Amino acid sequence: FAPTNEISLSSKKKGDVLIFDQLCRDIYRSVECCDTEKEAFKSFINRLEVWSDFFKKRGIRSMSYESQVGLFGELTFLQKVISLTDSFEALTAWIGPKNALHDFIFPSCTVEVKTTTSGEAKIHTRPGQLSPEYENLFICLVRLEASDLGQDLMTKVNCISEELSEEALDLFRDLLTSAGYTEMDKEYYKKNKFDIIELKFFLVEEGFPTINFDSLPKAITEVNYSLDLKLCDDFSTEPEK
């Protein structure tokens, strides 16, 4: 279509030139294939939302160690799901990168992935996230161990990418961007390699140890707490495929 309007993008931070260049190229590729100006504007807004999520998750320099660990854990569970079902459906269920309350929502259950490298099974959560009021809510505990012979984040991403269709791959890339991941940070990812020690599931049902907002005084507006899953073996389970 013949464009009737123009949009100019500029970056206020000189240190982010390479990332800004990647952002502009991504937006251009997305808008270029649109048939109408209305579609192009919609695509433009969509790409800005994806990149907005990226900058919120990535921070100033690159993904923090904790963010890499968390994403590695979510990808480990995603890889397991892809091996059991359609890859596009698996990716559609992955909403963690969108700042959702839980990481995966399927038609029959919800899964919150918690990842640790400490050797323990202590996880961090907040009131309302792990509540029995959610039907069929599972915790997937991913225990990792730092290892020079393990996988780094980029290797994990590449392994999953090889299993995806073209349509699913586009969605996967968008979700990774929303999670704060970019291949431009590959040198940072190479520094952190992990072995998967354990995947263990817990069903959050009646009696599961939790803190709810209803039990807190109104003056308390934000709370985070740690939960030791080693003391929750009574709730250990294996979700049906």
Residue 192 identity (one-letter amino acid):
N
pTM summary value: 0.78
At 57, the pLDDT band (50, 70, 90 cuts) reads low
Distance of CA 106 to the CA centre of its chain: 15
CA distance 141 to 227: 12
CA Rg value for the chain: 20
Q: What pLDDT does 222 receive?
A: 83
Pairing of strands 137-152, 110-116: parallel
In this model, does residue 60 exceed pLDDT 70?
no
pLDDT digits (tens, 9 = 90+) for 178-200: 898 988 888 888 999 999 999 99
Amino acid 182: pLDDT: 86
User: Per-residue pLDDT tens for 214-237?
Assistant: 778 888 888 899 999 999 999 999
Euclidean distance between CA atoms 68 and 58, whole angstroms: 10
Whether pLDDT at 213 is above 90:
no
Confidence of residue 58 (pLDDT cuts 50, 70, 90): low
> Is residue 2 scored above 60 in pLDDT?
no
- Asked if pLDDT for residue 17 goes beyond 80, the answer is no
**pLDDT, tens digit, for every residue of 123-156?**
999 888 998 889 899 999 999 999 999 999 999 9
Reference 208, options 232, 237, 238; nearest CA is 232
Which amino acid is residue 138, in one-letter code? F
